[in-house]
């Protein structure tokens, strides 16, 4: 697994979309907290998810996945569970019945262990393609009928710590400021200033304002996690506890 991740970084450097300094920073983050290198690179803002996928496609000579309208037979879908697919950032793309060939979209197509696991689970021949993690997660949720807010490429909307960006998030009469990635909710106006209630939209359709708010909340949560990580690193550096003690405590919980 580690070899796969290192090769992934080397491929991106070779493709010219990542430099050695950023790769080393991402590998250090991966060493501290684990996780897939591609996802870490995107979350750290080093490159957009779409650029990552295109670079891997070009370097590996592997096609980009088309996950917009995935339709698969029930007997193929039953071979997977959502947790397994999301954990490994993979999604079945299409099935060739005549050849017994299953096409699988992967965020990390260099993860040979997952490909071997897929062969064992399905008893089918596996052909891989490439897609971004958010694209895969959205496709998995559509495929298995899971209702949730659409997941965006984090690099499209995360705000780096220390920066201030003001954007309109769902409010037609004003903007919600976003400070260091955390939305600041404005105080509510007096009741007399509230507009008349509009007819309710059907429950099955998420309005753009709701989707934007969901994205803002998810962005705030991710930045909070990164702040917690930084705090833990500071405490470890100052000798409050060791990394091993911290990991042991987490595992006990």
Give 144's contacts (C-beta < 8 A, 6+ positions apart). Answer: 77, 82
The answer to whether residue 140 scores a pLDDT higher than 90 is: yes
The CA distances from residue 6 to 12, 30, 117, 142, in Å, are 10, 11, 21, 32
Better-scored residue on pLDDT, 227 or 1 = 227
3-state secondary structure of 128: strand
Give 5's contacts (C-beta < 8 A, 6+ positions apart). Answer: 27, 30, 36, 37, 108, 110
Query: How does the average pLDDT of the chain come out, rounded?
Result: 74
Alpha-carbon distance 139 to 156, whole Å?
A: 18
Residue from 49, 89, 43, 87 nearest 229 by CA:
43
Residue with token string 């490439």? 130
pLDDT digits (tens, 9 = 90+) for 1-39: 444 444 788 889 888 999 999 999 999 998 988 888 888
Q: 115: pLDDT confidence band, cut at 50, 70 and 90?
A: very high
Q: Region 154-176: what's the mean pLDDT? A: 40
Other beta carbons within 10 Å of 75: 8
Residue 147 tokens read as 């209702």
Pairing state between β 176-179 and 182-183: antiparallel
Alpha-carbon distance 115 to 79, whole Å?
A: 14
pLDDT digits (tens, 9 = 90+) for 124-134: 999 999 999 99
The whole-angstrom distance between residue 119's C-alpha and the CA centroid of its chain comes to 25
Instruction: Enumerate the domain spans of the chain.
Output: 2-47, 157-184+205-252
Alpha-carbon distance 189 to 134, whole Å?
A: 36
């Amino acid at each position: 697994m580690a070899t796969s991740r290192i090769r992934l970084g080397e491929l991106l450097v070779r493709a010219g979309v990542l430099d050695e300094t950023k790769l080393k920073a991402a590998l250090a983050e991966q060493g501290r907290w684990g996780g897939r290198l591609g996802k870490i690179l995107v979350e750290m803002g080093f490159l957009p998810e779409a650029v990552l996928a295109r670079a891997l496609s070009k370097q590996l000579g592997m096609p980009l996945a088309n996950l917009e309208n995935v339709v698969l037979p029930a007997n193929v879908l039953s071979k997977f569970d959502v947790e397994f697919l999301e954990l490994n950032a993979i999604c079945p793309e299409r099935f060739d019945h005549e050849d017994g060939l299953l096409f699988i979209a992967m965020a990390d197509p260099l993860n040979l262990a997952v490909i071997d696991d897929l062969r064992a689970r399905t008893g089918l021949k596996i052909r891989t393609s490439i897609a971004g993690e958010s694209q895969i997660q959205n496709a998995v949720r559509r495929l298995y009928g899971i209702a949730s807010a659409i997941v965006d490429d984090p690099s499209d909307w995360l705000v780096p710590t220390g920066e201030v960006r003001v954007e309109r998030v769902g409010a037609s009469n004003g903007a919600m400021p976003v400070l260091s990635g955390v939305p600041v909710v404005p105080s509510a106006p007096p009741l007399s200033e509230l507009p008349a209630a509009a007819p309710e939209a059907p429950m099955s359709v998420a309005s753009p304002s709701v989707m934007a708010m969901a994205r803002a909340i998810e962005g705030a949560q991710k930045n909070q996690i990164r702040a917690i990580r930084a705090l833990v690193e500071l405490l470890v550096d100052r000798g409050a506890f060791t990394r091993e003690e911290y990991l042991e405590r987490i595992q006990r919980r």
